Chain A
Amino acid sequence: MSRFLNFDTLSLHAGQVVDPEYGARAAPIYQTTSYVFPDTDTASSIFNLERGGHAYSRITNPTVGVLEQRIAALEGGSAAICTSSGMAATFCGITAILEQGDHIVASTQMYGGNISLMKNTLPRFGITTTFVDPTDTDGFRKAVQDNTKLIYGELIGNPGLDILDLEAIAKIGADHHIPVMIDATFNTPYLCRCFDYGANMTVHSVTKWMGGHGVAIGGAIVDGGNFDWGATDKYPTITEPYAPFTGINLWDEFGPSAFATRIRAEAMRDFGPSMSPMNAFLLLQGIETLSLRMDKHLSNTMDLLDYLSNHDQVSWVNHPSLPSHTSHELARKYLPKGAGSIVSFGVKGGREAGKAFIENVELASHLANVGDAKTLIIHPATTTHSRIDADALVAAGITEDMVRLSVGLEDVADIKADFENGFRAAKRITKK
């Protein structure tokens, strides 16, 4: 091999050394908490970060390692660490470099968990966030303060599906020596490799499209290896001696994977949000077919966009692939294969019509998740956001008639037929 392997090949092979004992072709599930050391010298070398290897599955595990290296390969990152959930990945990423008194600039359009973490939880630990509309690129620059240590956003925003102008945001980060961390859950590396546009780290809820089958919760944080931590003294957790490891200087010793090594050495040890080997195995099965699935998600999405845009029970349709979307040009730039498979649309007749639609579809599953192989729908006004009033809904970019759709892999004709039942019920409500 002298040519670099392409995406589909890496999806199947990266990170796995074929089991030397039995030749198992699939990555084995190493369902073990701990590992027998061959001798004391090897043991001390592993603990002292002098060699790769496994000591305890909270820190590393061979099955999880295959998944980590596969995700690093697909992203083009220098290292990846898998966690028990996407939220754990975000938390570990932030706490690896921020501390009390530090500040984040983040997009307003993000998954509710990300918003809540930054708005409600991190302030209790002295970390504050200024939220900026993702379409207001200059707003990110203006929000930077002396104590800003991180810029954070989702490439495809939630719920408005606005696209971050990643290159411009990365430039703001670079100008101020602030790393840019992108939640790449909605795009996956198949639709956009964020490091190619200057992002410094990505986080994933691999629960979603990466796994794709909706059977395992998991997260990943990927180190782009492209941030010069040594250029300022703002990041002491990376550039100053780390006492628990005999004063190791992670930046000096690990260079492009210093950030990931900090998470491994600190978060996985002290917080312990490890992924189970079983989940890593299941998620690996999903990643093997990532590109095939994404292509089908996208073709079904385009088909449904056409169907919904022309449906007389639909008042509006929102997706960055539609020329009417404010982020259409950015979507073409950063997501040329397609801007993901989340669609939102309005059912004519408002809140009650939206509710009737949801209650009368049968194939599409009514639940609070995205990125499953199966089509999922939810009516935010009566579920995830039911406790907030109409004004707050508007502020969150949610309208009472809004249905959020995560397009699955079913035969698209069956999805449309199912939706017809929903629309008929919605129409009956409006006539009343």
Chain B
Amino acid sequence: MYFDVGGKQVFATTGGKPFDNSKPTVIFLHGSGLDHTFWGLHSRFFAFRNYAVLVPDLPGHTNSEGPALTSIEAMGDWLNDVIEALDANDVSLVAHSQGCLVALEFASRYPDRLRSVSFIASGLATPVNDVLLNAAENDPEAAIAMMLGWGFGSAGHLHQGPIPGNSMVAGGRKVMRGNVPDALATDLKACNNYKNGVGAAEMVSGPIQVIVAGKDRMAPGKATTELIEHLSDPDVTVIARSGHMVPQEVPDQCRALLKAFIFSNNPAT
């Protein structure tokens, strides 16, 4: 569906059911250069279990009007505007990668409607190396290859995804090709410039879940350890064999963890 946020059109999928703000809400936040399709399987699961589901494209990504937002802080504010525009309630945030930084900013500043946060494959900061920053602006195909090459673990590289017939890597490539150079380059700069992780993490209250990928090359062990150290009492699970793209590489395990956590902390009737 499309809706207006601050005079700009925002696109979001709703898991195949109309968005109904009388139900508890699950909002899924995608990572750099990606879009709503990243969460397809998970959004349907919650929508068909009586949740109001929202999977927005960040501004300037795929179907949402641009330009892309230039800082993580601005994305956190924008998320609050989205929630207010839809008058969504009892929000469980589920975030991946860059989306986790946005979730940190949002959760630390706008706790009112929040019931839980799930961080998947994230650190407290996401420094981006110069080669990738440069490629995102000047050689988008190379940037996409780096991100997907590092992002996916062996299941991605071997095209072993869990949906019969589908290649996760090729699907990701097509989505990212629609979001270069502007959205991807802006995302990566915003990640690289984000320095408020520690302060934000310490402000997040309420139930927190952290899902760590054992073979994550984008948010390596040290970065996730720091995140966990600064969060208050998070529920941490490591999925040993997954690369960074947890929701796609190991969707069944990821869903089981999200289900247990969200069903108990933000139950739908």
Contact = CB atoms under 8 A, between A and B. Distances in A.
Interface of A: 1-5, 10, 13-17, 44-45, 48-54, 60-62, 64-65, 68-70, 72-73, 76-82, 224-226, 230, 245-249, 252-257, 260, 264
B113 interface: no
A51 B41 contact: yes
Contacts of A68: 164-165
B167 A72 contact: yes
A10 B159 CA distance: 9
| A50, A65, A73: most-surrounded residue (chain B CB, <10 A) | A50
Contacts of B161: 52, 69
Contacts of A10: 159
Contacts of B162: 51-53
B160 A16 contact: yes
B37 A60 contact: no
B81 to A, nearest CB: 22
Contact of A78 (B17, B40, B150, B167): B167
6 contacts: A4-B149, A16-B160, A49-B41, A246-B17, A255-B175, A257-B165
Given A51-B162, A253-B40, 12 more contacts: A5-B158, A13-B158, A14-B158, A50-B44, A54-B164, A60-B165, A69-B166, A72-B167, A246-B17, A255-B35, A256-B174, A260-B165
Contacts, number: 142
Interface residues of B, number: 41
B165 A252 contact: no
Given A226-B174, A252-B13, A253-B37, A72 B166 contact: yes
A50 B159 CA distance: 19
Majority secondary structure of chain B interface residues (helix, strand, loop or mixed): helix
Nearest to A67: B165
A135 to B, nearest CB: 31
A253 B155 CA distance: 22
Contacts of A82: 165
The 4 closest A-B pairs by CB, nearest first: A255-B37, A52-B162, A65-B164, A68-B165
Given A1-B154, A15-B159, A72-B165, A256 B44 contact: no
Interface string B127-163: 0000000000000000001000110011101111111
Nearest to A53: B162
Contacts of A14: 158-160
B159 A52 contact: no
B74 interface: no
Contact of A52 (B44, B150, B158, B164): B164
A78 B90 CA distance: 36
A255 B61 CA distance: 13
B16 A70 contact: no
Most buried by A among B17, B149, B163: B163
Contact of B158 (A16, A65, A76): A16
B165 A76 contact: no
B264 to A, nearest CB: 16
A101 to B, nearest CB: 29
A43 B2 CA distance: 32
Counting chain A CB atoms within 10 Å of each CB, the highest count among B149, B162, B165, B169 belongs to B165
Contacts of B35: 255
Interface string B200-219: 00000000000000000100
